[in-house]
Structure 1
Amino acid sequence: MTQPTLEVRSKKLIESDGLQFKDLNGNGELDPYEDWRLSPAERAADLVSKMNLDEKVGLMLINSRFTGYQTADDEPKSHDGILDERIIEAGTSIFATRKVYGTTETVERMQLRHFILRENESPNRVAAWNNAMNEVAEATRLGIPCLTASNSRNENGEMVFGMNDAVGIFSTFPATMGIAAAVLGDKADGGDASIISGFAEAVRQEWRASGIRKGYMYMADVVTDPRWQRIYGTFGESPELVTEIIGLLVDGLQGDELGPDSISTTIKHFPGGGPRENGFDPHYAEGKWNCYPTPGSLDKYHLPPFRAALKAASFMPYYSAPSIKKSVTQEIDGTDVPYEETGFAFNHYFLGTVLRDRWGFKGYVNSDSGITDNMCWGVEELSRPERFAKAVMSGTDIIADSNNIEDLKAAAEAGMISEHRMNEACERLLVEMFQLGLFDEKTYVDADAADELVKASSGWELADEVHRKSVVVLKNSSGTLPLAAGTKVYVEVFHKDPEQGTTKTAQAREEVGAAAGLQLVDDANDADAVFLLLDPQSGDYFSATAALLELTICENKMLTAVDGSETTETTISGLDRFRELATSARERGAKVVVSVNVSLPWILDDVEPLADALIAGFSSFYAAQADVISGAYPAHGQLPITLPASEAVIEVTDGVCISPNDVPGYDKDQYMPEGMSYAYVDADGNVYRLGHGLRYA
């Protein structure tokens, strides 16, 4: 084996057999866990045998961690301001239910080693922060390093905690559904899904340079309920496509096997978050159930992408619990599913029987955030130590967004968690660290070089191409598109938040104005074509909407709330102006081109009739959309989800949706009432089903 390049900052290097090793426990001897020649499993077993209970407890928790960069100057920091040393009181979010201590105390006293980064900092700064935390960790008794995880950082979109924690620092692709739209377009042209491999390679290069080594990504959930607020983070509704994409992502990020050049993947949300109960999300009680009202839906639609991801380092179960009352009997591999109405992180059948025993999964199980506090569905009556014990003994190895060492330790000391199970979980977690080289050559990264390494990534050029490929032409009446060279175009963006609409309008005008062949005008009355971009917003996946999630393009729409009261909803502000611009343009013979940002499967029955041409974007750059409508780039993308025909096809009566919650849109027609079709059909006869996307003649 080749001698790795080792760096220590507080401990010493020792020699054995003419080779160098880190003396991480400072005893002057080469212990098996310090010997990089041994297998990760051998090293992990040795290290666990040396760990005390406090060290094991700390290893089994992963918590969000702030850097010192955004901390006020008069608040405690260390390592030249890199590490945040504040104490933050409990109750600041649905996850921060306990007091958060400074970084050094968290590493040294509380023994945590896994952290989630949610700040949008430069690669240089992230790398320096990772290095500083590892300096603290190296000086501890056993020198166990830190491992930083993050949600995805390479997709465009509005920043949302827990989904898009960071935007624009790394190479920036369209939203994941846009990537899927581009892949579908490639396949329609006789190509393949190779852009996924290029995307994964870019992510791997960029994250590794910054020291982020574990991704809470990607979502393997297949979309089946159109009202689920997290749809925009998925790859759409096709089980076959999602399966292929997830398999390629795991291969591209991790390689043939997890190693020092890999990014570890945590595939979520097992066994699939798609079958919501009328869209409500399990971040809140109204969405606690996964519902399977359709025979065979679990095995046919929801599980295939996870089967393709068994090489992933870890799986993340969803908060939700399978409902007996709201489901029919399901089978997995020909065997009936014995429903236990607990959240999947507490569900031994899915984690133990299916994932490990039948499927042979070798990685570890990483819970979703906050399962022992607020999102503890099915185990609400248990004490916190009992919740920890139920999760761990059911097969969960690490609890997310928690620093609750006290209750996890209490569960272990009371014998609710066996020593064998505790050791097993720790060994699984440590194997990943050893595989990633964190104990050896990858403890520290070159912080000064990180920015330049990211700038040099192949991802930037590929992202530009994928943005253009992601744009879907839904409707093109009378050959409206592409717009002829010299066309005078007026541009305006509409958003739920009027201020964001103003900001995005300025950005869109700048990008469209630079597009080849188009002439931007400031007055709609001077335009040959008006380009009106709708960016609707609906709901919040941290809290339930008063009524069912609204999918129409509306402003101040009166709705009946779930409790029977009256409420209003707006998904776009300024709709009267939008309609006036579209109508007046048509009256004077100008063309109306409408773009809809498909973050959810919007109902377009009030929008499409106003458009001569209608396109779908997925947080696709305005410049990319301009290139498509001008013909500088050919129409390419295809819909990764089906858009509903109307509110009637998703109507809910007495809690039951007329179209089943657990079936993708492309397949819902076989379950609809006679004479009713699920997919939207426009004035030209185009059906907005999975795979729809027009080409230019």
Structure 2
Amino acid sequence: MKQPDLTVTSKSLIEVDGFKFKDLNGNGILDAYEDWRLTSEERAKDLVSQMTTDEKVGMMLINQMNMGKAKKEGDNTQVLDEEFEKADGSPMKRRDKYPSTETMERLKLRHFILRDNMPSEDIAEWVNKVNEVAEATRLGIPALIASNSRNENSDVTIEGDKTEGSFSLYPGTLGIAAAVQGELSAGADYTLVEEFAETVRKEWLAAGIRKGYMYMADIVTDPRWQRSYGTFGENPDLVGEIISRLIPGIQGEKLSEDSIAMTIKHFPGGGPRENGFDPHYLAGKWNVYRTPGSLEDYHLPSFTKAVEKNPSSIMPYYSAPSIEKSHWQAIEGEIVPFEEVGMAFNAYMLQTLLRDKLGFKGYVNSDSGVTDNTAWGMEEASVPVRFAKVVNAGTDIIGATNDVGNLKAAVVKNFIAPQRIDQANVRLLKEMFDLGLFDDKTYVDVEAAKAVRLEQAGREKAYEAHLKSVTLLKNEAGLPVGKDKVYVEAFHKNLEKAEKITQNAREVAKELGISLVDDYKEAETAILFLQPESGDYFNATPGLLELEICEDKTNIAMNGDTYKETTLSNYKRFEKIADEMRAAGKTVVASVNITLPWILGNVEPKVDILIAGYDTFLKAQLEVLIGNYQPKGKLPLTLPKNTAVIAVDEHGVCVSRNDVPGYDKDKYFREGMTYAYEDTSGNVYKFGYGLTK
């Protein structure tokens, strides 16, 4: 048995049987939870037996914690953020935020979500300071730092391959899926996914972030769902295979001190939206299963594959299953008893389906704010009753809240059995013990974190994935394009951002030896980067999300009012450039950034060459266009033909099934109607499509 290398900052080490242990509760004797020779289960149960109600309640909440050095105003030289911030009702500030030390000492929280983007060594320094505070408390329970995924590019105004950022940046998850499909179609395997997973694990471990809210096993079935960009697309088999490799690659075959604990989301799948409306808002409250068997056939298979790999936790979605708007569903022949409450409150979904049928052994982590403004089905209940409902249903930790008072009230009023509180705490603490946080992984090496940040191997693999993700949709003019007299411009909903992307694209083009002109009228080739956006993730869209690439289109809001929707503020300029250049016999190339399944009828007919990126580096796209790399990517989802195939009638029913992937929607259309976009060359933009020349 090997002695761990133990470090303490405020407590002492004690020696028993020739081994050293941390005396975390300061009593001078070796308690079972301090004994690294015991199983994590034994240690967790012993610790729970010593915890007060306040400590147990604090353990069951996870909230955002900021880094002092990440502040934009005030003193940003301090490692910890010790400022109080009053709640303002916004999604990220639903409740008062207390100083970091007070949050750990008085509120007893030990799980924290990090959203700040800082160099790895600064994150490591912050993690250490957080754990110094935690160690000094009564029982010395360490902190566990969680984060949403960090290794996918999300902003092409900054080329991640040219920076020394903390984390290697792959294309967006849709781009990873596009690249993987290209590899598979060429006879390769899932090596790209495995390399991605190893990069994530290594970089996160060095920084001290030990829990990942990732990845999404959800299947895109409603094209207007704004969270499509975080998925691996619409095919359950592909998504399941990717997820089943990410879990062992990032977390390991079993949880250990070298793991990043993964939280797979959003059970049982967030794809079957009602016309795309997101459950962050009332309009998106429901999961709608219109099609017989859709839950079992399309939405559960990827989660089944995930559970087989033993993820540390699962995150249920906000939404509730609708009885009135759905067709009855069955799992293995047994009818699903839809209870119209959010999935985190839903005992059938979490206990019967997730644990009993699928065999899940980890803990359940709710999404953010389920006891506040997204308590669907529990809106009329008091907050303590909401806490009781969510915990009794099988949720072990509640996301993005520090509301210890209302959870404690539910416990004190006997709304929740003490055994259930203990069960949740054992599950949560077992993860901490498995990760080594109580022993030799409490603190991280700041210099080692910096060294990992400066390594190039991960960035090289990531850039290769960018190249592989580029999807050639149309090639009438023939690749490669000429490098002389090239005009480059970007188009975006935000004109200032469009200008930044344009500048970046021009700089990269020059690096690749492309000769640029400043006026498209002087060009032989125009390369036009389209970065459409629709709606706003943190603000409910007045009506249906717009998928046409357009400028100032008049739409109708849910209350009947008209409003203007724009996906590209400078679309008319794109149209002018494309039309004039083609009329003059010049070549027009367009790249469309696929974060949603855009309708391309306003773009494709106007260009000679069309490619798709997925938050793919501009440099990688240009390398494909000039012939430095052969296109390989394949569409991870089907692009709709036009607005008619996603039209919604006066009763709110969409002509195409919201719960069926694009590649299968034709099965449920009237005869003669098809869903996928067909271009002027006869190519059909369906899942898996992509040219190689």
**TM-score bracket for this pair, using the shorter chain length:** over 0.9
CA contact (8 A) 1:89 1:100 kept: yes
2:90 maps to 1:112: no
2:582 maps to 1:586: yes
Give RMSD over aligned pairs: 1.5
Task: Output one character per residue of 1:592-642: Cα deviation in whole Å (capped at 9) or x when no partner.
Answer: 101000010000001100010100000111100001111100010000000
Q: Which residue of structure 2 aligns with residue 163 of structure 1?
A: none
**d(CA) in 2 for partners of 1:34, 1:355:** 32
Q: Which residue of structure 2 aligns with residue 2 of structure 1?
A: 2
> Which of 671, 675, 678 is equivalent to 1:678?
675
**d(CA) in 1 for partners of 2:358, 2:570:** 52
CA contact (8 A) 1:497 1:573 kept: yes
SS in structure 2 of the partner of residue 309 of structure 1: helix
Q: After alignment, is 350-359 or 416-425 more displaced?
A: 350-359
> Which of 125, 128, 136 is equivalent to 1:128?
125
**d(CA) in 1 for partners of 2:642, 2:655:** 12
Q: Which residue of structure 2 aligns with residue 172 of structure 1?
A: 169
**d(CA) in 2 for partners of 1:475, 1:348:** 48
SS in structure 2 of the partner of residue 349 of structure 1: helix
Task: Output one character per residue of 1:373-430: Cα deviation in whole Å (capped at 9) or x when no partner.
Answer: 0000000111000000000000000001100000000000111010000000000000
CA contact (8 A) 2:70 2:118 kept: no
Task: Output one character per residue of 1:153-203: Cα deviation in whole Å (capped at 9) or x when no partner.
Answer: 11111499xxxxx99531011100000000000011011121111001000
2:431 maps to 1:432: yes
Give, in angstroms, the shift of residue 358 of structure 1.
1.8
Q: Which residue of structure 2 aligns with residue 63 of structure 1?
A: 63
Q: Which residue of structure 1 aligns with residue 43 of structure 2?
A: 43
Give, in angstroms, the shift of residue 14 of structure 1.
0.7
**d(CA) in 1 for partners of 2:375, 2:336:** 21
Mapping 1:133-532, distance limit 5 Å: 133-158=130-155, 168-310=165-307, 311-456=310-455, 458-477=457-476, 479-484=477-482, 486-515=483-512, 518-532=514-528
Task: Output one character per residue of 1:351-370: Cα deviation in whole Å (capped at 9) or x when no partner.
Answer: 01111122221100000000
Tell me the matched-pair count: 685
Residue identity opposite 2:390 in structure 1: A
CA contact (8 A) 1:206 1:457 kept: no
Q: Which residue of structure 1 aligns with residue 659 of structure 2?
A: 662
CA contact (8 A) 1:489 1:520 kept: yes
Give, in angstroms, the shift of residue 95 of structure 1.
4.3
Change (3 A) 1:616 1:82: same
Residue identity opposite 2:409 in structure 1: A
> Which of 78, 82, 86 is equivalent to 1:81?
78
Residue identity opposite 2:144 in structure 1: L
Q: Which residue of structure 1 aligns with residue 559 of structure 2?
A: 563
Task: Output one character per residue of 1:106-144: Cα deviation in whole Å (capped at 9) or x when no partner.
Answer: 101110000000111110111111100100000011000
Q: Which residue of structure 2 aligns with residue 533 of structure 1?
A: 529
SS in structure 1 of the partner of residue 243 of structure 2: helix
Give, in angstroms, the shift of residue 542 of structure 1.
2.6
**d(CA) in 2 for partners of 1:363, 1:612:** 51
Q: Which runs of 5+ in 1 are unaligned?
A: 161-165
Residue identity opposite 1:620 in structure 2: T
**d(CA) in 2 for partners of 1:26, 1:470:** 54
Residue identity opposite 2:334 in structure 1: T
Residue identity opposite 1:573 in structure 2: S
CA contact (8 A) 1:284 1:542 kept: no
**d(CA) in 1 for partners of 2:332, 2:187:** 33
Change (3 A) 1:606 1:167: farther
SS in structure 1 of the partner of residue 26 of structure 2: coil
**d(CA) in 1 for partners of 2:370, 2:538:** 14
Q: Which residue of structure 1 aligns with residue 160 of structure 2?
A: none
Give, in angstroms, the shift of residue 673 of structure 1.
1.6
Mapping 1:535-684, distance limit 5 Å: 535-653=531-649, 654-684=651-681
**d(CA) in 1 for partners of 2:155, 2:312:** 28
**d(CA) in 1 for partners of 2:456, 2:306:** 26
Q: Which residue of structure 2 aligns with residue 103 of structure 1?
A: 100
SS in structure 2 of the partner of residue 209 of structure 1: helix
Give, in angstroms, the shift of residue 20 of structure 1.
0.8
Residue identity opposite 1:204 in structure 2: R
Task: Output one character per residue of 1:217-276: Cα deviation in whole Å (capped at 9) or x when no partner.
Answer: 001100000000110011000000000011111110111101000000000000000000
**d(CA) in 2 for partners of 1:62, 1:563:** 37
CA contact (8 A) 1:269 1:316 kept: yes
**d(CA) in 1 for partners of 2:402, 2:509:** 48
**d(CA) in 1 for partners of 2:198, 2:146:** 17
**d(CA) in 2 for partners of 1:573, 1:64:** 34
SS in structure 2 of the partner of residue 558 of structure 1: strand
Residue identity opposite 2:86 in structure 1: E
SS in structure 1 of the partner of residue 275 of structure 2: coil
2:12 maps to 1:15: no
Q: Which runs of 5+ in 2 are unaligned?
A: 158-162
**d(CA) in 1 for partners of 2:653, 2:72:** 50
CA contact (8 A) 2:597 2:638 kept: yes
**d(CA) in 2 for partners of 1:436, 1:529:** 54
CA contact (8 A) 1:602 1:643 kept: yes
**d(CA) in 1 for partners of 2:345, 2:677:** 39
SS in structure 2 of the partner of residue 520 of structure 1: coil
Residue identity opposite 1:592 in structure 2: V
Change (3 A) 1:174 1:167: farther
**d(CA) in 1 for partners of 2:606, 2:138:** 68
**d(CA) in 2 for partners of 1:604, 1:589:** 22
Q: After alignment, is 85-94 or 30-39 more displaced?
A: 85-94
SS in structure 1 of the partner of residue 69 of structure 2: coil
Give, in angstroms, the shift of residue 586 of structure 1.
1.2
Residue identity opposite 2:112 in structure 1: F
**d(CA) in 2 for partners of 1:89, 1:360:** 42
**d(CA) in 2 for partners of 1:506, 1:341:** 50
Residue identity opposite 1:51 in structure 2: M
CA contact (8 A) 1:157 1:167 kept: no
**d(CA) in 1 for partners of 2:475, 2:381:** 58
Change (3 A) 1:515 1:458: same
CA contact (8 A) 1:209 1:453 kept: yes
Task: Output one character per residue of 1:478-520: Cα deviation in whole Å (capped at 9) or x when no partner.
Answer: x421124x4331100000000000011000111122225x322
